[in-house]
Structure 1
């Protein structure tokens, strides 16, 4: 039996005065490509930022290079974008986007999702959302979520790049997103429901 594919997800938020967009991005690769993807993410670190790779710490040039690097690795990506999401309801936006990610990823053959850890209470909230989302899958479907520190898992950095590229698109800098859109399924999520 082949191992079940695992996806890695990270989030971002792009806000305006009226509302905003909650972005939950997931990447996944064939098991044979995971090591290559991890090495590529580790290779994007710089002398000034030798630890965890983070979109917000990169220059525009580094962001475009990171997006192109991720796009060059054979993988599939899903981005759930929830709107409208006012600043004060980001957790609701996260829950709605995570629920949609579970459904879409499961449809692509993924049964495990790794998300960057937050507090125990917030991690437990993610687990509850995934548990509820399983009711939207076929009877007996398996789907699990795990949390990992971002500093320990380079494939979470790939998800950060994808989320950052989508955020950059909303901010008017489309080039990083254009590098990735051919590998990415974009899902609009109405968070008012």
Structure 2
């Protein structure tokens, strides 16, 4: 799971830069819909943007449910963002039902004192928030790197912090 950390003063410029990377009539930039050549172009463009990225990685076996692995990654991602004093995080909305599961996780880790009350979370669809596209591309580049495809991630290495979860 990936996040990009962007100073609020840079949001509009980064949004415009990400919008410029869209091709055709696509409403959003999405890693899985892009070619390998475009992956490198996208990663090189993101590497020039005023942002840092953070990725939590949990290599899980087939017996671990996807949602369990996702919750582990989201919890650690939020903890890392909280420690970095990020005030607001935008989480990609999957659906009202799934967003509620994320909210319950956040409430639970706050109650357990593993997350402060200072970080806030909102949910948005990627068609509505281009900043989510950068996190998607970073996650895609890291996933491909883990699979042995290095180009995209190599462009991002100086700007990306990886956190492996047991």
RMSD: 1.5
What is aligned with 1:12? none
Of 81, 94, 98, the match for 1:122:
98
- Equivalent-residue separation in structure 2 for 1:69 and 1:95 (angstroms): 30
Cα contact 1:102–1:133 (8 A) shared by 2: no
- Equivalent-residue separation in structure 2 for 1:188 and 1:39 (angstroms): 32
- Equivalent-residue separation in structure 2 for 1:102 and 1:78 (angstroms): 10
What is aligned with 1:172? 148
What is aligned with 2:14? 37
Decide whether aligned partners of structure 1 residues 39 and 85 sit closer, same or farther in structure 2, where only a CA change above 3 A counts: farther
Q: CA deviation at 1:128?
A: 1.3
The reply on whether 1:144 has 2:120 as its aligned counterpart is: yes
Note the 1:21-170 alignment, pairs <5 A. 24-47=1-24, 49-86=25-62, 89-134=65-110, 135-137=113-115, 141-170=117-146
TM-score, normalised by the number of residues in structure 2 = 0.92
SS at match of 1:84: coil
Q: CA deviation at 1:103?
A: 0.8
Q: CA deviation at 1:118?
A: 1.2
Q: CA deviation at 1:45?
A: 0.7
Moved over 3 A (4+): none
Q: CA deviation at 1:153?
A: 0.6
SS at match of 2:67: helix
- Equivalent-residue separation in structure 1 for 2:88 and 2:48 (angstroms): 23
The total of aligned residue pairs comes to 164
Cα contact 2:40–2:152 (8 A) shared by 1: yes
- Equivalent-residue separation in structure 2 for 1:143 and 1:117 (angstroms): 18
TM-score, normalised by the number of residues in structure 1 = 0.80
Greater helix percent: which structure? 2
Q: Which runs of 5+ in 2 are unaligned?
A: none
Decide whether aligned partners of structure 1 residues 111 and 131 sit closer, same or farther in structure 2, where only a CA change above 3 A counts: farther
Note the 1:3-18 alignment, pairs <5 A. none
